[in-house]
């Protein structure tokens, strides 16, 4: 009850960011906070833009292999000299003063409008490699977007329930301080009536001062947590989380199930698979440079009257191009691409191992936190009863001031440990879901939890 009361009056006591003072904090349950984050996160928006860009690039490669048509217009100022041998007519022409061969010179300005069409018939795999590389880049962008979403959601869990933990800690510290202040007041009266020694009253004073310092620290911690959550959700007025810390008393699903889901859906594995596909496409492209290319072409001249003598009116044909020598070692380039593919494959295998280890660690931590929380449930009842008995015994001079202080601090410690165990459970569960590609489903786990820290 006292913890709930402390949480209720929290925002009137704890300092909050200046921007949050402009209005009432926005009350959000976790599902609504998750939805708001995905709508307003700049990191997610940037990832979305990246996916759209890569999708457009992949779409642009679909037309590779279709004819390319170029329109070219040239403005020429030219001179052309022709020589015509007269052959057997040379003696006759010579009698008329005509030299052999005849020389014609033409000088003028002309416009050459030409349309050229080319179509690749065989590229050695370059087009297929380019298309495959573009698709792999799109897959990588999608995996990176999912990773950005999962990272943002994990940050939200930490900030949202971190503020809840800070509220719990502040409530406990306030209760402890209030209890020790009452104890100090009682001790002061008993000292005045000479029922206890000055040393016992000083013990109560020191304990009360320590509690005051812990309370001030809890206020500062909550202000920091509030600022973090408000910034994450782009809420200058502040956020008041209404979904409490929770624990499901039932054990988690088997570890192997989470491992299987992680290996199937983790975005980092999808990203590395996309990088591996890009590397394989790079090998194909480098190999294509060692092969000839075959293409068909056609050309049409729209101005035949002013065309050069060497220019055809139209032409069609098939061409073959093969590079005999290059300044770049093509064999080494192919081998380098193969090594890049091997690197991506090795990275994928290493990532699988690390993810399996991470899933195991998170699963064990979640189970340990769950069991610790359940044990602290009974400890909380014992601590409350112990404090009640120590206070009664102290008034009857059957217990010392130190006994009451220890009982008060013990209750506070149990409350904090219980809230911390719930927070540890939530964070371990979030990390487990993140590694297995399911962190967006955390609200479902919240809904079926049967233990809460109000």
Q: What is the per-residue pLDDT across 140-183, written as a single tens digit (0 to 9) for each?
A: 999 999 999 999 999 999 999 999 999 999 999 998 899 889 88
pLDDT for res 132: 92
Consecutive H or E run containing 380: helix 330-395
pLDDT for res 106: 74
- Rounded Cα gap, residues 376 and 32, in angstroms: 30
Decide if pLDDT at 299 tops 90.
Answer: no
400: nearest Cα among 112, 202, 172, 138: 202
Residue with token string 């594995």:
269
Q: How confident is the model at residue 10 (pLDDT cuts 50, 70, 90)?
A: very low
- Rounded Cα gap, residues 14 and 230, in angstroms: 15
With a threshold of 0.75, does the pTM exceed it? yes
**422 vs 27, 38, 207, 362, CA distance in Å?**
21, 25, 27, 14
Mean model confidence pLDDT for the chain: 87
All structural domains of the chain, each given as residue ranges with its CATH number in brackets, are 2-65+128-289+332-453 (1.20.1600.10), 68-122+300-325 (no CATH)
Q: What is the per-residue pLDDT across 206-244, written as a single tens digit (0 to 9) for each?
A: 989 999 999 999 999 999 999 999 999 999 999 999 999
Q: How confident is the model at residue 6 (pLDDT cuts 50, 70, 90)?
A: very low
Percentage of residues of the chain with pLDDT beyond 70 = 93
Mean pLDDT in residue range 301-307: 72
pLDDT for res 99: 78
Contact 217, 169 (CB under 8 A): no
The DSSP call for residue 303 is: -
Decide if pLDDT at 392 tops 90.
Answer: no
- Six token digits for residue 232: 């994450």
- Asked whether the bond before 101 is cis by omega within 30 degrees of 0, the reply is yes
pLDDT for res 9: 31
Decide if pLDDT at 1 tops 70.
Answer: no
One-character DSSP codes across 63-117: GTTS-EEEEEEEEEEEEEEEEE--GGGHHHHHHTT--SSEEEEEEEEEEEEEEEE
């Amino acid at each position: 009850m006292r913890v709930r009361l402390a949480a209720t009056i929290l925002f009137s006591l704890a300092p909050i960011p200046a921007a949050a003072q402009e209005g009432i904090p926005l009350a959000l349950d976790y599902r609504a906070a998750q939805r708001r984050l995905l709508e307003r996160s700049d990191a997610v928006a940037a990832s979305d833009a990246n996916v759209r860009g890569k999708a457009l690039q992949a779409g642009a490669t679909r037309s590779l292999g279709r004819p390319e048509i170029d329109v070219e217009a040239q403005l020429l100022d030219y001179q052309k000299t022709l020589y015509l041998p007269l052959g057997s007519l040379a003696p006759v022409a010579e009698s008329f003063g005509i030299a052999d061969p005849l020389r014609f010179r033409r000088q003028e300005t002309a416009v050459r409008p030409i349309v050229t069409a080319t179509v690749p018939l065989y590229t050695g795999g370059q087009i297929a490699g380019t298309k495959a590389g573009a698709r792999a880049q799109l897959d990588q962008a999608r995996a990176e977007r999912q990773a950005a979403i999962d990272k943002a959601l994990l940050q939200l869990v930490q900030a949202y329930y971190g503020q809840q933990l800070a509220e719990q800690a502040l409530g406990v510290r306030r209760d402890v301080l209030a209890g020790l202040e009452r104890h100090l007041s009682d001790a002061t009266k008993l000292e005045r009536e000479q029922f206890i020694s000055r040393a016992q009253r000083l013990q109560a004073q020191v304990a009360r001062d320590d509690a005051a310092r812990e309370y001030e620290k809890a206020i500062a911690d909550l202000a920091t947590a509030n600022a973090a959550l408000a910034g994450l959700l782009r809420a200058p007025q502040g956020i008041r989380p209404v979904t409490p810390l929770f624990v499901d008393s039932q054990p988690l699903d088997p570890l192997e199930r989470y491992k299987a889901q992680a290996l199937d859906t983790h975005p980092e594995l999808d990203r590395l698979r996309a990088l591996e596909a890009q590397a394989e496409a790079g090998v194909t492209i480098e190999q294509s440079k060692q092969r000839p290319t075959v293409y068909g072409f056609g050309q049409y001249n729209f101005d035949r009257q002013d065309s050069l003598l060497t220019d055809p009116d139209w032409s069609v044909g098939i061409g073959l191009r093969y590079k005999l020598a290059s300044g770049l070692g093509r064999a080494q380039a192919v081998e380098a691409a193969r090594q890049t593919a091997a690197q991506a494959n090795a990275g994928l295998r290493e990532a699988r191992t690390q993810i399996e280890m991470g899933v195991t660690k998170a699963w064990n931590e979640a189970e340990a936190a769950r069991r610790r929380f359940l044990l602290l449930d009974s400890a909380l009842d014992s601590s409350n009863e112990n404090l009640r008995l120590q206070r009664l015994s102290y008034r009857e001079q059957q217990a010392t001031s130190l006994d009451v202080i220890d009982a008060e601090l013990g209750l506070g410690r149990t409350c904090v440990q219980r809230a911390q165990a719930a927070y540890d459970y939530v964070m371990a569960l979030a990390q487990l879901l993140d590694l297995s590609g399911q962190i967006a489903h955390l609200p479902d786990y919240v809904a079926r939890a049967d233990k809460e820290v109000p």
